[in-house]
Structure 1
Amino acid sequence: MKRWFLGTLATVLVIAVLGAVAWFTPLFSVRQFEVEGQEHTTEAEIIEASGIRGGENLLRLDYNKAATQVYELPWVKEVKATYSLPSTVRIAVEERTPLVWIARPEGIALVDESGQPFVIAEPPMGTVEVSGAAQGSLPDLAKIVEVAKSLGDQRPLVARIDAASPRDIVLELHDGRRVRWGAAEDNHDKARALKVVLSQEGQEWDISDPTLVTVR
C-alpha cells in the first residue's frame, strides 16, 4: 500500500513539474503563424487583429478572444483559432462572398449573401449594382439579394438591378436589354424564365409572371 502511494505521489509530482515547465517556460512560445482561407484580407492584418504576439506562451493564450477579434475584420465571415505544439498558432478564416454593391456617399459598399453591406471597396468581377429606392432599406436590400442569388451563373450577364421597391424590380443587362422581374418572389421560377428569355430576340421582357412571359 505504501509503495503504491509513493508511486502515485511521484507520478503526480512529475505531471505537476511538466505542467509548470509548459506553463511558465518559453518551451512552448509562439514562433510561427499559419493563416489560411484569406483572399481579400492579408495574413498580416489577421495576425495583427488576433492580438497574439510572437514569444507568448501557446498554452496561456485566449483563442476564443483571438478569433472574436479577427471576426471584426470586415471580410471575415467565420474564423477559428487554435494551436499546434510546440510553437505554431493556426488561424483559419472563411471570407464573405459579395453578390451585389450599392453606391454610398463614402464609396461603393459591397453586400454579402445575407444582404448586409460589409466593406467599402471596388466591386469584384461578377457582382451586380443595385440602384433605386429599395437599396436604402436593409430589409428591402436583403430581398433584392435573394433575387441576385437566384440568378446563379446568369448573374454576370446582369449589369444592374434597379429596384424602386421589392415589388418593382428591373434587371438591366450588359447588352442593353431590360427584364422586368416584378416582385422579389418566385425567384427560382423567374430565373428559369430568364434563361429562356436570354436565348430569344427582344429588348424588353416581362417575367414578373414566369408562366406568362411577354416581350415588346
Structure 2
Amino acid sequence: MAGPTTGERTPRGERRPESSGPPPLRRLLRRHLRTIVVLAIALAFLGCGAFWLLYGSDLVRAEKVSVSGTRVLTPEQVREAADVPLGKPLISVDTDAVASRVSRKLPRIDTVDVERSWPHGITLKVTERTPVLLVQKGGKFIEVDDEGVRFATVSRAPEGVPALELDLSRSGSAAASLRRFGEARLVREAVRVAGAVPGSVARLTRTVKVRSYDDISLELKDGRTVAWGSSEAGAAKGRTLTALMKAAPRARHFDVSVPTAPASSGS
C-alpha cells in the first residue's frame, strides 16, 4: 500500500493541528454542570433572602388597617370586627379569615374585599347593605335589603324607606299563599315590588302591604293606594302607573295588577 504523499507528510518535529470542530462531549457536560451548580446556589440564596424578608424581617409586617366604603358603620367598628393580627408578617395574614370575621360580626356589610397594601398595610373595602323596606317590631325597625335579607335593627326609621306590612291571614287565600311560598319568599316578592316602583312614586310610598303572593299593594303618604298584584311584570306596571297618575291626577286608587288593563277610581 502506498504511503502518504509528499503533500500529506508532516515535517518531523511538528504536530498536526487540532481540529477546529466542537469541544468533546465530556467538556460540554462539565461546563453545563458548573453553570447549573452556580445557578442553584444563587437561587438558594435568593430564596432564603426572600423568605427572611417576608417572614423574618420587620420590613413587611402588618402595622395598620385602612377602611373605606362605610356609611352607617364607622371604620373603627370594621377594624374591630376584622381583628387583623398586627405585628405579624404581612404575608401570613389570612385575608379570607379576615373577610369572614367582618361578614359574620357585621351583618350590615354586604361585601368586603381584603387586600395587602405593601409593605405595612391591610386594606378593607366594604359595601354596606341598603334598606329598601322596614319591618316594625316592638317599637324598633328591622331593615330589609334588596335581597330580602333582614340585616339590622334600628331604633329610628331611616328617612324615605317604606314600611313592610305582612297582612298574612291564617285562613283563606292568604293562608294558602303563606303555606305555599313561606314568609321569606313573600318578603322577597315585596322587595321586588319596591324595586320596580317608579322613583316619583317610591318617594311617596309609606307602606308596601303583602296579603298574598299576587296581592301586594302600596299606600302613599297622601292616602292614595295602588293595587300592584304580584311582583311579575314590574317594569310594565311601573310605566303604566306613571301614565295613569298623570291621566287621573285626582284619583285616590290605582290598579295596575293587570298592566294592559289599568284602572283608577275616587277623586
TM-score by length of 1: 0.91
Alignment partner of 1:178 is 2:253: no
1:157–1:13: structure 2 CA closer, same or farther, 3 Å change rule? same
What letter matches 2:163 in structure 1? E
1:143 aligned partner: 189
In 2, Cα distance between equivalents of 1:22 and 1:127: 49
Partner of 2:121: 88
TM-score by length of 2: 0.74
* 1:156 paired to 2:188: no
Partners of 1:152 and 1:124 in 2: how far apart? 20
Task: Structure 2 unaligned segments of length 5 or more: list them.
Answer: 1-32, 169-177
> What are the Cα deviations for residues 76-127 of structure 1, in whole angstroms up to 9, with x where unaligned?
1111111111101111111112111111247211111111111102332331
**In the TM superposition, what is the alpha-carbon distance from 1:179 to its structure 2 partner?**
1.4
After superposition, the C-alpha distances for 1:22-77 in whole angstroms (9 at most, x for unaligned) are 20232212222221112122111111111203322211111110011111211111
SS of 1:198's equivalent in the other structure is helix
User: Match for residue 112 of structure 1?
Assistant: 145
Which consecutive segments of 4 or more residues in structure 1 shift more than 3 A? none
1:187: which partner in 2?
234
Counterparts of 2:237 and 2:36 in 1: how far apart (Å)?
77
The CA deviation string for residues 136-191 of structure 1, in whole angstroms up to 9 with x for no partner, is 91111101111001014131111111222222222111121111122332222211
Which is higher, the Rg of structure 1 or of structure 2? 2
Partner of 1:129: 163
Matched, 1:215 2:264: yes
Structure with the higher strand share, 1 or 2: 1
Equivalent residues of 2:186, 2:210 under 8 A apart: no
Amino acid at match of 1:182: G
CA RMSD in angstroms comes to 2.0
1:3 Cα shift? Answer: 5.2
